[in-house]
Structure formats: C-alpha cells, structure tokens
Amino acid sequence: MIKLIKPLAAVATCLSLLTGCASQSSSSTELIERTAPITMNSVAFTDYDLKRTWPRGFGQMENGESYRLSLVQHGQRPSATGTTEVYVVLRNHTDYDYQIEARTQFFDQDGVPVDVKPTWQRSTVPANSLATYRELSTTTQPLQYRVEVREVN
C-alpha cells in the first residue's frame, strides 16, 4: 500500500502542474487584444503571438504582458507635399531578426475609410533593435489612421 501512495502522489502533482499550464490558453476569449474596441490613430498587433496580454499565468512580465515586438511610438505628420505620413517605431525583444508585415487604413474625420485599399508591406525588425514603418496617404485632407502589424509566415 505504501509503495502505491508515492507514485500516486507524484502523478497527482504532475496533473496539477499540467492543469495550471493549460489555463494559459490562447483562446480568443482570454486575449484582451482580440476584444478591444477599434480606435483611430492607433496600432494593432493582428498576429497575437507578437504581443499578448494574459490575465494570469507564469512566464509573463510584471504588467501581465509577454511579447516579442513592442510599440515604441507612433504618430502622423504632414509630408512635404501636404499628404499625411504615418509612422510606427517597433522594438524587437528577441535575439533574431523578425519579419513583419504592416498596413495602414486611413479614415476621414467622420471615421469613413478613404484613400486606396491598404496593402501589406514587408519589413525586418533587426534582433534587439528598432525599425520604423512609414506610409503616405494620397490626399491632402485631414485624416485619422489605424495601422495593423502581423508576423510574416
């Protein structure tokens, strides 16, 4: 009987550890980014492996985030021709170059999409470094923007 208790205790311990690990799933209901409202003049990581916020679990930063890339800054400014230039500065937290794609959707002041259909542009963010993505609008009217970033597969 005593010989049976030790293996059962070991199995119970392993199962409890595995259950704790399984609670850190990547389902859409547990990821804040997937349910956050869409906002203007913003950057969204549409590939959720790049930047992920977990409500609980281990292996995360103090603020609950676990990420490979992070947003350093973003904004817009007028170009020399009077159009709008949007820029996004990304930081790579890994030890290898990261291939990403980004696209910008422009909106007028009422939130209606304008300009051309957004296209994905490829870029590389060097290991432990910064990279800047830029996009120009085709109109001179005041615009809002939303940039989407994803990993190249």
Instruction: Check pLDDT > 50 for residue 15.
Output: no
- Tell me the domains of the chain and their CATH numbers: 28-151 (2.60.40.3230)
Residue 118 has pLDDT above 80, yes or no: yes
Please say whether the beta carbons of 81 and 55 come within 8 A.
no
| Single pTM value for the model | 0.71
pLDDT greater than 50 at residue 20: no
What would the two tokens of residue 111 be?
Answer: 């939130």
Dump pLDDT digits (tens) for 45-99: 887 767 655 454 444 455 555 678 889 999 999 999 999 999 999 999 888 999 9
Residue 39's pLDDT is 92
